[in-house]
Amino acid sequence: MEARSAQQIWETALGELQLQVTKPNYRTWLEKTTGLSYDESRFVVGVPNTFAAEYLARNQRSLIEKTLIGLTHPGVEVQFQVNSARVTATSPSIKAKYTFDNFVVSPSNRLAYAAARSVAEKPGASYNPLFIYGGVGLGKTHLMQAIYQLAQTENIKALYVSAEQFTNEFVSAIQAKSTAEFRHKFRHVDMLLIDDIQFISGKEQTEESFFHTFNELHNANHQIVLASDRPPKSMPHIGDRLCSRFEWGLIADIQPPDFDTRLAILKAKAKQQEVEVALDVLEFIAQRIRQNIRELEGSLNRAVAYAKLFGAILTPELAARAVQDISPSANQTTLTPELVMKAVAERFRLTPADLTGRKRDRATALARQVAMYLLKEANNCSLAQIGLEFGNRDHATVIHACRKISRDIDNDPYLRRQVLDIRKELQHPPEVRRR
């Protein structure tokens, strides 16, 4: 038996984490977590819902593991487990500021924006369903709720839920033998919006129920809007029937914003909050945070808070200090193809030449794909450039590799570990490693 309980350790860890992430980030993702158990290799953290589990696993695993390693054993891995007692309490709330007016339109989200507006104005008449997909923090929920809010003002009967809530209500309805009410609730609306629909994949009964809901609404020309972190074809375990229905209407993607868009968003957010921030500071943040608008916003808030706290003028240098720990990608040294290939090759006991060469055995192919994936993640090279670096392969090959690895990491803990280790290696090469 360990002397300290998992909860005690976790509370200490939370104290450290609180200093390393933004306040909104901490509130949303970490505040309601608990330490459940631990042994030498694993620390189990209880989280309120699957969103939190997914989010933390994807975005903060390495930060949390780093913190826990300091408090427990070297090499300890964190695992997030949904604390089922709280699951049914979750219900997504509508944020008043998620409106079309507050949405900055850019080439990376123009299609999704236009389609969202059009279904909000004329539900059932244009694209049905509208399927919006894109990475974390790129504005899917914002657009969904903007549709919902506009529909409300037009007296359109709309319902917005997360796929998790849909699932929970379905399960409760079955247990309580109240499926008739469940059906009524979801099928007698003019517009049904389901956020993060990827969460229903693999839950067969829920999928089945959703399938019927979908058909009924669609037959009646009622609008369906879905948001997902990936396109229908890449949703694992989703039935073909449902997958093809997702493709009936319009599939609109949201891409990560380019620099000008990031800057425009920061300007809009500063204006919204009525704070004045110098242009060079906004530019600095826009350069640092690239992949996630939520983080972009969080960094701005944090920089502003930092300046207030120290009674200092907000300069790019101060902003740099404020955002340092938010995003591991923010203070990464530039990852060149050579560095990535070297680290990956070493880990897989191959040579960089194997990665650029023609060998196609499984181990080499996997290592090559991992290297492509990491290079894409580093966001310095275009897909075409990456292809070129790897012995002149075309950009479809690179896309395929990236998708495959990002999918496989979710399902294969061993691969996840390997990628994590390589990433760590790249972030802290031995000569500058702190611990």
Q: Which residues of the chain form contacts with ligand ADP (CB under 6 A)?
A: 98, 102-104, 109, 134, 136-142, 265, 293-294, 297
Q: Using CB under 5 A, count the residues that bind Mg ion.
A: 2
Judging by DSSP bridges, how do beta strands 191-195 and 34-38 pair with one another? unpaired
Q: Least distance (Å) from Mg ion to the CB of residue 36? A: 26
Closest residue to Mg ion in the complex (CB): 141
Give the shortest CB-140-to-ligand ADP separation in angstroms.
3
Residue 418, contacted partner among ligand ADP, Mg ion, none, CB below 5-8 A by kind:
none
In terms of CB distance, is 44 or 111 closer to ligand ADP? 111
Residue 261 CB, nearest distance to ligand ADP (Å)? 7
198 belongs to the binding site for Mg ion (CB under 5 A): no
60 binds Mg ion, rule: CB under 5 A: no
| Token representation of residue 244 | 């093809």
Tokens 């860890």 found at? 13
CB count, 10 Å around CB of 175?
8
- Among ligand ADP, Mg ion, none, what binds residue 302 when CB lies within 5 to 8 Å by partner kind? none
CB of 124 to ligand ADP, least distance (A): 24
Q: Which residue's CB is nearer to Mg ion, number 13 or number 193?
A: 193
Cβ-based nearer residue to Mg ion, 198 or 209: 198
CB of 157 to Mg ion, least distance (A): 23
Query: From the CB of 323, what's the least distance to ligand ADP, in Å?
Result: 16
- Ranked by CB distance to ligand ADP, the top (closest) residue is 139
- Between CA 62 and CA 53 the distance in angstroms is 14
Nearer to Mg ion among residue 108 and residue 141 (C-beta): 141
Rg of the chain's alpha carbons, rounded to an integer? 23
Contact 313, 275 (CB under 8 A): no
The residue among 191 and 263 lying less far from ligand ADP, judged by its C-beta, is 263
Nearer to Mg ion, 288 or 294 (CB): 294
Q: Taking CB within 5 to 8 Å according to partner kind, which of ligand ADP, Mg ion, none is near residue 265?
A: ligand ADP
Query: Footprint of Mg ion on residues 136-155 (CB under 5 A)?
Result: 140-141
Task: List the single partner that 284 binds among Mg ion, ligand ADP, none, CB under 5 to 8 Å by kind.
Answer: none
- Give the strand pairing for 34-38 and 42-47: antiparallel
235 contact choice in Mg ion, ligand ADP, none (CB below 5 to 8 Å, kind-dependent): none
CB of 168 to ligand ADP, least distance (A): 19
Site of interaction with Mg ion (CB under 5 A): 140-141
